Amino acid sequence: MTRKHRRVVSRREFLETTAAATAAVTLPNTRGPALVGKARKIRVGVIGCGGRGTGAMHDCLTSSEDVELVALGDLFPDRLAKCRENLATMVTEEANSALKPKIKVNDRNCFTGFDAYQKVIASKVDLVVLATPPAFRATHFAAAVAAGKHVFMEKPVAVDPSGVRSVLATADLAAQKGLAVVAGTQRRHDPGYRAAMERIHGGDIGDIVGGQVYWNQGGLWMHPRLPEWSDVEWQIRNWLYFTWLSGDHIVEQHIHNIDVANWALGAHPVKAVGVGGRQWRTDPAYGHVYDHFAVDFQYPNGAHVLSMCRQIDGTASHVGERFVGTRGTSDGRSVIEGAAPWQRDPQAPKVNPYVQEHADLIASIRAGTPLNEGRQVAETTLSAIMGREAAYTGQVIVWDELLASQQELVPPDLNFGPMPVAPVAMPGSTGVVRTWRGA
């Protein structure tokens, strides 16, 4: 029932693109960079060298043999320098000593500035890791695939429908070119989630009729503005708090749980109604994002999934998922209750999904059967954006209309300089159609 709706996509032009790309995927791949020989080293470049980017370097290098880190790029020289210091520290740790010969980073292959991504991609790299704030993902992904690079990209992969359209097109192009694309929705590579999903898709809880997904927690880090920072620099350094940079926390963080819902249901939502607001984190230091959302997502089979996310200090935390089927319930990762009960062995060996996602990516490149999660993560990203827009606008958001909408939040040519902060979204008056020009 859910399977046939798996590709409920959009408008005519997208159906056409999809059809062409699907045809291309099914053709045997006889050329291109997917044919990296088993013996050949995979050379990795990383764009976005913050804590997650540096963590991804560790995970990628740890995951596989014959992988080398050969290029780094970051907007900010201080962040890149800090990353290099951290890499030096990393290899002094006993558990990471084997990584030392894999790190071939020097002054010549480290790049900063808004065009650093182009220089990393132009380096002799096979695989590019995209770990900047989400605003830049669609552009970087397009450039990497155009240059024939395999890609690992952090979630979310866009902040607006315009970015999602770009990522969908690039994902299809990557498929045509035989390039691997893996996304940082690491639950898809977690043995617990995979085991539960296999059972759910096998019918162990029956047809899914509803569910709940949550990411409720306290606030996150914030860097108080320094006098020497321009508007743009201040916003990018505090990217969590600006919708054009992060997508807001429902997109940046809660996307993980929405992705699990899409995975369980084998579809993306078709409709969303939601509420949300900015009740606690009201200081201008926190930009204009909301601090809580609650969204009702409707899926093609009629199932409703409640999504709830919050970033407010001193409140109850909860991160997780739950699915209700006609024969039972599941948390999607460790337990099924009902007609076909199951519990994952708590003593089962631990696999680090953040490493596994890189292992799966690199193994797929070497096997000549490149994984391509681009479309999947783009659809999950738009699902989360749908929730955001339902709350921001107060309107019923329909998938096809949102995907086709003219919402473009990221200025095309960024430079350090003035940039006003867009107003906090107001349900009833904020519309889906918005651009950076109106900020």
Partner 1 sequence: MSALLFAACPAAVVGQSAAHFLPYRDSIPGTLVSFEMIPVPGGTVTLDTPQGPRTVSVGPFWIGKTEVTWDEYDIWAFRLDLAGRVPTDSIDAVSRPSRPYGAPDRGFGHQGYPAIGMTYFAAQTYCAWLSAKTGKRYRLATDVEWSRAVQAGLGADTGWTPERRDALAWHAGNAGNQSHPVAAKPPDALGVHDLLGNVAEWVTGGVGSADGRPVVRGGSWADPADQVGPRARAAQTPAWNLTDPQFPKSRWWLADAPFVGFRIVLLPQ
Binding site for partner 1 (CB under 8 A): 51-52, 54-59, 86, 89-90, 95, 186, 215-224, 253, 280-283, 285-286, 313-314, 316-320, 346, 350, 352-354
Q: Least Å distance between CB 215 and partner 1?
A: 8
Q: What are the tokens at 96?
A: 């990471």
Alpha-helix runs per DSSP H in 73-208: 77-90, 116-122, 137-146, 161-177, 191-201
CB closer to partner 1, 230 vs 282: 282
Q: How far apart are CA 70 and CA 109, in angstroms?
A: 7
Q: Least Å distance between CB 315 and partner 1?
A: 10
CB 62 within 8 A of CB 160: no
CB closer to partner 1, 140 vs 322: 322
CB closer to partner 1, 39 vs 95: 95
Q: Dihedral sign, CA of 334, 380, 396, 209? A: negative
Q: Least Å distance between CB 164 and partner 1?
A: 24
Q: Least Å distance between CB 98 and partner 1?
A: 13
Relative to beta strand 304-311, strand 208-217 is: parallel
How is the chain split among helix, strand and coil, in percent rounded to 5? 40, 20, 40
Q: How far apart are CA 84 and CA 154, in angstroms?
A: 20
Q: How far apart are CA 166 and CA 408, in angstroms?
A: 11
CB closer to partner 1, 276 vs 353: 353
CB closer to partner 1, 151 vs 386: 151
CB closer to partner 1, 23 vs 220: 220
Q: Least Å distance between CB 53 and partner 1?
A: 9
Q: Least Å distance between CB 313 and partner 1?
A: 5
CB closer to partner 1, 252 vs 408: 252
Q: Least Å distance between CB 319 and partner 1?
A: 4
Residue type, 167: V
Q: How far apart are CA 81 and CA 60, in angstroms?
A: 20
Relative to beta strand 328-330, strand 335-338 is: antiparallel
Alpha-helix runs per DSSP H in 8-160: 12-26, 51-63, 77-90, 116-122, 137-146
Q: How far apart are CA 75 and CA 163, in angstroms?
A: 20
Q: Least Å distance between CB 136 and partner 1?
A: 19
CB closer to partner 1, 11 vs 318: 318
Q: Which of 358, 274, 318 is nearest to 58 (CA)?
A: 358
| CB atoms closer than 10 angstroms to residue 234 | 21
Residues in the chain: 439
Collapsing DSSP to helix, strand or coil, 17 comes out as helix
Q: Least Å distance between CB 51 and partner 1?
A: 4
Q: Which residues contact 110 (CB under 8 A, 6 or more apart)?
A: 71, 72, 73, 80, 84
CB closer to partner 1, 69 vs 179: 69
CB closer to partner 1, 55 vs 277: 55
Q: Least Å distance between CB 127 and partner 1?
A: 18
CB closer to partner 1, 319 vs 398: 319
Q: Which residues contact 430 (CB under 8 A, 6 or more apart)?
A: 392, 393, 394
CB 379 within 8 A of CB 299: no
Q: What are the tokens at 412?
A: 């095309």
Q: Least Å distance between CB 8 and partner 1?
A: 31
Q: Which of 237, 249, 241, 211 is nearest to 388 (CA)?
A: 249
